[in-house]
Amino acid sequence: MAVSDTARKNHDELFPGHVSTLAVTDPELVEAFDNFAFDEVLRHTSLDTRTRLMVQLAALVGARALSEYRVMLGAALTTGVTPVEAREIVYQAVPYTGMGNAFDFIHATNDVLTERGIELPLPRQSATTPATRAQQGRAVQEQIAGADRVAGMYESAAGDELHLQQFLSANCFGDHLTRTGISIPVRELITFAILAALGGCDAQVRGHVAANLNVGNTRQDLIGVLTVLLPFIGYPRTLNGLAAINEVAPRARESDNDMTGFEAHGQGQRRSGGVTRMPASDDRD
């Protein structure tokens, strides 16, 4: 099997002049992967290149794939993802994966940026203070998750767990999701990518399918994200993500006969109990 002209062109745009070591040692595998990831998959998504690379970077953090993250970070920077956007992706991963998982990715990001002559630290993007983080965080949380849902979470929390809801508002949303540098709709695609790749958090994936819809993203945007993540996170987690989409945002149709095989598999998982392109600039400046 030879690498297709389209796959070679798309690959070379990301990695100009680079020959993969695996292309020498494992040519059959690389031919199959490149034809799939850089040709076939890209025919089924309307995500622009920058957004595609951003959600792939986010998923690689969620999947704890440090070596591939470093490779794809170089590609992302080559194709126009800014240093600030790259840094914001790994900062945003901290409340979802924990610092224990994000730590090495922060250092890897700094290493790649330094190798490219980019001076650190990068410009600050924090939009809150210790006095405002809780209030501003809850406001963004309500924008993303819905005010009624957030109020219900607070009202239903027992006294000995209320602090966890307060942490969610002030820390997860106040310290991280209020930051500038990436717009809220793209941040939600990033969160969805992290959670889908992380695995074991199906309820949170469903919650962030709904959150994506709240901020203007569509079912097609989310399926587009899963499509470009598939070569990097595999079928089980991709299909789990698809099942969440089908549960929260089912496709409008008269029958199941016109479903693609990909959608039908995800719908079948849900029934059996299994589990656009977007502007990358910040729209809150």
Specify the pLDDT at position 265.
52
CA neighbor of 220 nearest in space, from 195, 252, 197, 191? 252
**Which residues fall within 8 angstroms of residue 211, CB to CB, at 6 or more apart?**
144, 145, 188, 191
Domain boundaries, given as residue ranges, for the chain: 130-179
Question: In this predicted structure, what is the pLDDT of residue 1?
Answer: 78
Per-position pLDDT tens, the chain of length 285: 799 999 999 999 999 988 889 999 999 999 999 999 999 999 999 999 999 999 999 999 999 999 999 999 999 999 999 999 999 999 999 999 999 999 999 999 999 999 999 999 999 999 999 999 999 999 999 999 999 999 999 999 999 999 999 999 999 999 999 999 999 999 999 999 999 999 999 999 999 999 999 999 999 999 999 999 999 999 999 999 999 999 999 998 754 545 555 555 555 444 333 324 444 444 444
- pLDDT of 20 reads 86
Distance, in Å, from the CA atom of 285 to the CA atom of 270, rounded to the nearest integer, reads 40
> What are 143's two structure tokens?
């924008």
pLDDT value of position 81: 98
Determine the angle formed by the axes of helices 27-35 and 5-14, rounding to 10 degrees: 90
Report yes or no: 228 and 33 within 8 Å, Cβ to Cβ.
no
